[in-house]
Structure 1
Amino acid sequence: MIAVGKTKTFMHTMEELHRYLLLDSKWGRPIVGVSTIIFVFMCLSGLILWFPKKLKKFRNWKVWKQGFTIKTKGSWKRINYDFHNTFGFYALLPMLLMGLTGLLWSFTWYYDGLERVLGDKLGKSRFDKTITIDDSSEYQDKAILDFNTLLKKTDSILPYSNAATRVTLPLSLDQSIMIRKISNEFLAFNAADKLQFNPHTNNLVSAIYFKDESIGSKIAGLIRGIHVGDFAGLTTKIIYFICCLIATSLPITGTLIWINKMKKK
């Protein structure tokens, strides 16, 4: 238990460092936000520099190939340049997704603006609630929930087996019981299908399937997963982990490139 407590404390400290630099949120949020804007700008400017500099070379595959490969037989300066140029390109999209979604936690205007663009609440699963059942008056004397039957019904409607199931109990006798199911497959959206049952009759009263939602609603529901990298299961977690390692190396390789250019001047 002590080890678990220390782990939670450590992870909480890391989160505070990541979001506020261990400062008061009033000062930490904008500092991290501005730094994130600079990070996004560096990613976009790096993409521009990655493209061939002369228009006449756009149709030359050999020129493009240099941006996709590392010349391992070159000097250390060339290898360092290719590492920065090539791996930076491969990690670009995840880095941009991390940066553009990370701004949500720094600027209220950005958060509100993205909600308007997507047409739905961000991280809307936080607002999921049980619903009122109209015909509950005749069952007021019954307060026993048949979990086995409800879970079997849920599995028959949502047949994927490798999944996490979360049950939200009714707040009163006239409320439904909500069961959410999220697939744990290697490549599956980290989003829940939501079923609501009448706890007195076990009848299904509402069903919301993630696949049927609009693109904007899907993005809004997955927004935290897009930032941390688990929006499509373990697959995107691994991709994000590798891209984070690359992103950490880019300031080092970029500084070495700058030093070498300064020496030439």
Structure 2
Amino acid sequence: MKVRQIALVLHRYIGVTVGILLAIVCLTGSWLIFWKEINVFLNPQMFQVVPQGDRVSVQFVVDTVRSAYPDLQLNFMDLPRTLNSVYTVQMLLNNGGRLFIYLDPYTGSVLGSQEWGRTLMSFIYEIHISLLGGKAGETVVGICGLLLLLLSVTGLILWPGWKKLVAGFSIRWHSLPHLMNYDIHKVGGILSGVLLIAIASTGTAMAFETQFKSAVYSLAGTPKPPQLTSTIVANSPTIPADIVLQKADLALPSGKSLSITFPREPQGTFLVRKKLVGDIHPNGSSYVYLDRYSGEALRVENSFTTNAAFRIIISWFPIHIGAFGGLTTRILYVFIGFTPTLLSLTGLALWRRRQWRLAQRREANRQITATLAESQKSYPIAEWPWF
């Protein structure tokens, strides 16, 4: 069997089998490209900030949320990135859920809160990563990513433009429906193919993160970084959040601190994420780990000077969401997310027509067989026409 024939069979049956699931995952992915902006638009009261002097300290924000929610555990804080943005604090609920609290950076007052799973954007996110199926759903989505990657590669192999470039990009708008569907399918596929491969491969890597990380470190010949822990000091308090940021700036002076992850266990560590100049990751891809009691920098991971394995791993997310090219690629990714739906619909139309033609051919063959059988039928001698 030739490569093209194998590609055709795989492309045809994978598309028919999982086309609808791929369309759902990719459509929700398009929504999530601008999910923060959409969330602000839908809930303006929680994000309206009037710049007025200096911002309150990070520790003031920590004290405020701990006072307002004494029974919840502080997990994460996203720092304001512009003059008009807010502090976002994530607290862990007793039922395992997450509560996001938004605070005015100039007054420290609570502007509002959202429980994860009870908002439109979190609902769309859960569909995208798990089809609302929990861990099993995440595995299904990861497999869909692998199949999308295979669909994209086989589609590129089957593209007729390799033989004649003009034919590969032409659409016969006024021809028969099946010819127009075929042309839309081939042109849409080739225009989105490379980016769909990037999206599918990075999405699959994040869905099976543990396995792919191990594979990357193994292929790069780099040992996985060890798990860090703080040295527990009896009766010693956790250092204030403001000191954490100061220590992080001393350990990695360049760049801007964007977030703090707080320790959840007595031996846990602080993690400060920083974004250096030229970093394509929207949340920063340089990390500083600090001891929760002494503030000592336990490990610094500069995204520009660290090992190749780490740089590959941190590139998955910005490539997956189109952040590597700024606003232009993000907008482009929104449209790319619609192409699997278009390809699924046109591919299904082509598939149905093929099935209809096969059914017609089988019926014609049946009639021919029946006619031949009738013509060769044996008659009793008394019924022979010459008697």
Category of TM-score, reference length = shorter chain: 0.5 to 0.7
- What CA deviation, in whole Å up to 9, does each residue of 1:202-222 have, x standing for no partner? 998864321112332112123
Which of 213, 234, 238 aligns to 1:115? It is 213
Give the alignment of 1:168-247 within 5 angstroms.
179-182=272-275, 188-190=280-282, 191-195=284-288, 207-230=300-323, 233-247=326-340
SS in structure 2 of the partner of residue 75 of structure 1: coil
For the Cα contact (< 8 Å) 1:101–1:226, is it kept in 2? yes
Residue segments in structure 2 that go unaligned for 5+ positions in a row: 1-45, 47-111, 219-225, 359-387
Question: Which amino acid is 1:158 matched to?
Answer: S
More helix by share: 1
For the Cα contact (< 8 Å) 1:184–1:233, is it kept in 2? no
In structure 1, what is the equivalent of residue 341 of structure 2?
248
Residue 50 in structure 1 maps to residue 148 in structure 2: no
SS in structure 2 of the partner of residue 220 of structure 1: helix
Q: How far apart in 1 are the matches of 2:271 and 2:134?
A: 38
In structure 2, what is the equivalent of residue 65 of structure 1?
166
Please give the TM-score of this superposition, normalised by the length of structure 1. 0.61
The CA deviation at 1:92 is: 1.4
For the Cα contact (< 8 Å) 1:16–1:22, is it kept in 2? yes
Which of 246, 260, 277 aligns to 1:150? It is 246
Q: How far apart in 1 are the matches of 2:133 and 2:293?
A: 50
Residue 257 in structure 1 maps to residue 350 in structure 2: yes
Distance 1:30 1:150, change over 3 A: closer
In structure 2, what is the equivalent of residue 60 of structure 1?
none
For the Cα contact (< 8 Å) 1:149–1:202, is it kept in 2? no
Computing the radius of gyration over CA atoms, which structure comes out larger, 1 or 2?
Answer: 2
After superposing the two structures, state which structure 1 stretch, 243-252 or 15-24, moved more.
15-24
- What CA deviation, in whole Å up to 9, does each residue of 1:221-244 have, x standing for no partner? 233444444455444432321111
For the Cα contact (< 8 Å) 1:193–1:208, is it kept in 2? yes
For the Cα contact (< 8 Å) 1:118–1:216, is it kept in 2? yes
Q: How far apart in 2 are the matches of 1:179 and 1:5?
A: 24
The CA deviation at 1:248 is: 1.6
Residue segments in structure 1 that go unaligned for 5+ positions in a row: 58-62, 121-126
SS in structure 1 of the partner of residue 258 of structure 2: strand
Sequence identity (%): 21
Please give the TM-score of this superposition, normalised by the length of structure 2. 0.45
Question: Which amino acid is 1:83 matched to?
Answer: I
Which of 109, 126, 130 aligns to 1:16? It is 126
Question: Which amino acid is 2:121 matched to?
Answer: M
Q: How far apart in 2 are the matches of 1:184 and 1:46?
A: 38
Q: How far apart in 2 are the matches of 1:255 and 1:170?
A: 50
